[in-house]
């Protein structure tokens, strides 16, 4: 279907639009970008706590549950008055969370089922009201249809003030109560024993979540609003182990994806903003999943590969060292190959790694160790012996069992552990 667009025209058009967007000169762009910025900051901050407290599904439920309130807020004034819409959304969100709790207490249903139930019920009522609004004469221009999938260009300057005030409330409260929120999220029982009002904090978080949903709804739409709460925080959790950095990164990921998504949707006024923002978020998450320095799948594979290369390299270093200890100070590549039971080509490729490290030199087919190489080889040899001694003396492994373990561990032992091993054996020999 999309192939019918005149592609060439689209592209040149797209480029100028793109430049127009990222120069932020347009008033419309400024308003939309500011709105997205505010929503990314507020959802990104709160999202961290929602994800860590396993309230993600609740965030999603609240996102859907605000729709009836938004519609009723519209109906009061028959126009998109931000304060009425926010109030309606809040009432609706509180009603939904109260209902979730009520059904939980009085049935034996578990919370996921109850949340699903309330979520879809409220969403149903909301869609019904929305359809009805669009039928009434004033409703056509209501701008409410942007609420489903998000239309950042529909954010008015008046909306911005409300969004700004609400974001300030969220960020301010989270910062002021940061220490208590972290404690209550990590260990609710302990928090409560030292007098932290954990229940109040829980309801406060739910209330703030409802507010964050309302802030986000115009730009990303209520169907995708939970992505703004969950994905940036989840991505940040893959990247770092410190709570403060989690919050900061979560906001940054949200802002980045928001801006990219907005710029894409800006290329064509019919594109909704939400899907592009969420798509960018998903891509950022995928990138982090693969390349997060510590936990990334690809990063771990690279680390493992480096370790195995290192083992191989150091084993060749040791072979040279051992054959040198016997006779002259240079050894032929072919002899080395026989010794290691590898082909000369394999040895040459590993040997080039040694040379790059400055551990060895090659003169013709004569391999020779440099001073640095010699030192590292001696160190490895010593680690090997230390570990072998540890295995036989302290683990009481028979001597024929120790060799293989020691071969592998000598490349891994850190300087601290080596010092400890040395201290142990020196003590004994005194």
Partner 1 sequence: MSTTAVPPNPPPIEVHDLTVSYDKKPVLWNIDVSFPEGQIIGIIGPNGAGKSTLIKSIMGLMPAESGWVKVYGQPLARQRRLVGYVPQRESVDWDFPVTVRDVVLMGTYGKLGLFRRPGKAERELCDHCLMQVGMAAFADRQIANLSGGQRQRVFLARALAQDSRIYLMDEPFVGVDAATEAAIIELLRTLKRQNRTLLVVHHDLQTAPEYFDSMLMLNMRLVAFGPTQEVFTTPLLQKTYGGRLTILSEAAEQVAGTRR
Interface ranges with partner 1 (CB under 8 A): 52, 176-177, 179-180, 182-183, 185-187, 189-190, 192-196, 237, 240-243, 245-246
Q: DSSP state, 296?
A: -
Q: Residue 134 or 200: which CB sits closer to partner 1?
A: 200
Determine the longest span between alpha carbons in the chain, in angstroms.
Answer: 100
Q: Residue 210 or 237: which CB sits closer to partner 1?
A: 237
Q: Could you give the C-alpha distances from 248 to 45, 364, 429, in angstroms and in order?
A: 8, 56, 54
Q: DSSP state, 142?
A: S
Q: Could you give the C-alpha distances from 27 to 156, 165, 259, 270, in angstroms and in order?
A: 11, 20, 15, 19
| Long-range contacts, stretch 127-130, CB < 8 angstroms, 24+ apart | 127/67, 129/67, 129/68, 129/71, 129/72, 129/75, 130/67, 130/71
CB of 245 to partner 1, least distance (A): 8
Q: Residue 193 or 309: which CB sits closer to partner 1?
A: 193
CB of 398 to partner 1, least distance (A): 26
CB of 188 to partner 1, least distance (A): 9
CB of 183 to partner 1, least distance (A): 5
Q: CB neighbours (10 Å) of residue 180?
A: 16
CB of 186 to partner 1, least distance (A): 5
Place of tokens 């004034």: 77
Q: Residue 198 or 217: which CB sits closer to partner 1?
A: 198
Q: Closest Cα to residue 43, out of 287, 278, 238, 381?
A: 278
Q: Residue 192 or 370: which CB sits closer to partner 1?
A: 192
Q: Residue 90 or 201: which CB sits closer to partner 1?
A: 201
CB of 210 to partner 1, least distance (A): 23
**Phi, psi for residue 363 in degrees, rounded to 5:** -120, 105
Rounded CA-CA distance 162/395 in Å is 69
């Amino acid at each position: 279907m999309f192939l019918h667009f005149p592609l060439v025209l689209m592209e040149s058009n797209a480029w100028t639009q793109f430049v127009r967007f990222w120069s932020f000169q347009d008033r419309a762009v400024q308003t939309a970008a500011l709105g997205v910025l505010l929503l990314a900051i507020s959802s990104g901050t709160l999202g961290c706590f929602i994800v860590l407290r396993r309230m993600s599904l609740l965030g999603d439920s609240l996102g859907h549950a605000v729709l009836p309130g938004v519609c009723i807020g519209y109906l009061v004034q028959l126009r998109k008055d931000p304060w009425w819409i926010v109030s309606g959304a809040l009432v609706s969100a509180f009603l939904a969370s109260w209902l979730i709790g009520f059904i939980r207490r009085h049935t034996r249903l578990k919370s996921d089922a109850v949340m699903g139930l309330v979520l879809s019920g409220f969403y149903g009522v909301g869609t019904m009201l929305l359809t009805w609004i669009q039928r009434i004469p004033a409703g056509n221009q209501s701008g409410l249809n942007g609420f489903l999938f998000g239309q950042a260009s529909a954010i008015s300057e008046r909306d911005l003030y409300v969004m700004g005030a609400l974001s300030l409330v969220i960020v301010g409260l989270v910062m002021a109560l940061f220490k208590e929120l972290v404690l209550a999220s990590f260990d609710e029982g302990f928090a409560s024993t030292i007098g932290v009002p954990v229940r109040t904090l829980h309801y406060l978080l739910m209330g703030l979540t409802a507010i964050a949903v309302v802030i986000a709804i115009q730009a990303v739409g209520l169907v995708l609003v939970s992505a703004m709460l969950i994905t940036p925080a989840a991505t940040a959790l893959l990247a770092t182990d410190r709570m403060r950095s989690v919050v900061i990164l979560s906001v940054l990921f949200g802002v980045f994806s928001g801006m990219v998504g907005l710029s894409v949707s800006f290329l064509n006024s019919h594109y909704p903003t939400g899907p592009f923002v969420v798509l960018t978020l998903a891509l950022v998450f995928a990138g982090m999943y693969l390349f997060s320095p510590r936990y990334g799948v690809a990063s771990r594979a690279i680390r493992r590969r480096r370790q195995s290369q290192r083992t191989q390299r150091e084993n060749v270093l040791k072979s040279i060292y051992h054959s040198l200890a016997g006779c002259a100070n240079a050894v032929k590549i072919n002899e080395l190959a026989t010794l290691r039971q590898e082909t000369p080509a394999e040895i040459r490729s590993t040997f080039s790694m040694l040379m790059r490290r400055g551990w060895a030199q090659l003169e013709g087919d004569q391999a020779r160790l440099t001073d640095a190489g010699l030192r590292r080889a001696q160190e490895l040899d010593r680690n090997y012996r230390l570990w072998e001694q540890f295995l036989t003396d302290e683990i009481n492994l028979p001597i024929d069992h120790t060799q293989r373990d020691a071969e592998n561990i000598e490349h891994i032992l850190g300087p601290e552990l080596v010092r400890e091993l040395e201290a142990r054996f020196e003590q004994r020999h005194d």
